[in-house]
Amino acid sequence: MIRWAAMMLCLLFALAGPACAQAAPPAAPSHDILLMLHLPAPHFRADGYSGASYRDDAGRQARQRIAAALAREHGLQMMEDWPMPALNVDCYRMRPAAGQDPAAVLAALNRDNRVAWAQAIQEFSAQGGTGAPGASGTPGTSGTSGDPLYRVQPAAAPWQLEQLRKSATGRKVLVAVVDSGVETTHPDLAGQVTVQENFVDGQSYVAEAHGTAVAGVIAARADNGIGIAGIAPEARLMALRACWQADSGTRCNSFTLAKAINYALLHNAQVINLSLSGPPDRLLQQLVGVAQARGIRVVGAIDPARSDGGFPANSPGVFAVAADDAPRHGGQCLLAPGRDVPTTMPGARWGMVSGSSYAAAHVSGMLALIGELKPQLSGERLHEGIVRSSGPAPLTGIDLCATIMRITGKCSCACPNPSSDKLARSP
C-alpha cells in the first residue's frame, strides 16, 4: 500500500506543470551595511515593528539626525531604517558609494562612539530543495489518518503521529515560519496561518515553494481528507516572508531576517523556525539570544557544506537539525526526516522535498507538541529530554514518543513508565 501510494504520488508529480511563476529576486545589497544606534530606555516601546508604526518621538528624530550625519561624514546613502526594540536599537541600512571599501567604512563606523555597532549585510540560503509539484486535488490513496499521503510521510510510522495526536496536536502554540512566502489559502493550510507579513524590500507578499513546504510539514491540517498531516496540525503559524525564491534557490539576508525575527519576538512567537543557514552575524545572533532568554525555541537547519553547520544551527541553545541521511555535526545535532518528504506546494498542490530545511520543520512541529503539554519547560531541560531513537530502520534520529513521555509524562503510544523520570515532574 505504501509503495503504491508513493508511485502514484511520483506519477502525479511527473504529469503536473509548474505550480506558479517564481518571483524575481530583489536587488542584492552585496555591499550594503547595517548601522545600529542605541535606543534609550525612556523611548522603548515594543508596540510596533516598522518605521510607519513606530512612535515618532523626539528621541527617534534625534537618532535619525545622527544617522544622517554619519551617512554624510562617511559618504553613505541612507536607504531605510527599522526600529528593533527587541534589541533596544534602531537599525539603518546604508549603501557605500561606488569605489568605497565597505570594510574600511565599517571599521571607521565601529570606532565612532555614537554607533552601537555596524556590520555588513550577509547572505543566507534555505537548506532544502523542492521537487516537481504534484497535481492539485487529492493525490495518492487514503491512509488510516484520513489524509491520503499520510502513509508516505517518513515520520508517520516512526513518530507514531496518529497515536500522538490523542495526547497533543500543538494546539494554540504559535510557530513563526521565517522563510519565503507561504500559500495561506492552500487547502491543507487554510486557517492555519494567523499572521502574514512581508519583510523583503521591493516586493509584495507572494506564495513560494520553500516557505509553503516548510509550513505544511509543521502544521498541515489533519484528517481533512486531502494531502498530508502536519506534525502539529493545531499549531498556528506566523508566515513571515524574509526570503525570496530565486533561480538558484531561496535566499535571505541579514536585514530581512532581522526584521522578521524582531517581529516574531514582539508578537509572542513560541517557536521560531529558521530553515536556512549562513555565516556568523552579530545582529541575528543577538536576536536569537533574546529569543532564547524569553524561552522561545529557535530551530536551525544544518548546512552540510559547512563544517560547523552554519548559523544559526551552530549557536548554543539552538535546536540544530540535519536530515536523517546526512552526517552528524556534533553531539547536539538532531536528526529528523529530511528525504522524500511529501508536503504542501503553491497552487493548491503537493510535492516531494528533501533537505535539512524540512528536518528542521519536523523538529519545530515536535516542539509545538511539547509546548502544548509543557509550556514552561526551560530550553536546557528540553534539550536534555530529547530521546535519540534506536532499533531497526527506518531511524529518524528522535524517538518522539519516548521524548514526550520523558518530558511531560503524557503519551498515547508505546512508551516506558515515566514514574521515576524527574523531567516529567518538573515545571
Instruction: Please give the positions annotated as active site.
Output: 179, 210, 357
Contacts of 389 (CB under 8 A, 6+ apart): 158, 395, 396, 397, 398, 399
Cα dist from 402 to 167, 317, 389, 396, 424, whole Å? 13, 21, 9, 13, 11
For 414, the 3-state DSSP assignment is: coil
- Could you report how far apart the first and last alpha carbons of the chain are, in Å? 43
Calculate the CA 334 to chain-centre distance: 16
Q: How far is 31 from 29, CA to CA, in rounded Å?
A: 6
Cβ–Cβ < 8 Å for 424, 406 = yes
Q: How many residues does the chain have?
A: 427
Helix (H) or strand (E) run with residue 64 in it? helix 58-73
Greatest Cα-to-Cα distance within the chain, rounded to the nearest angstrom: 70
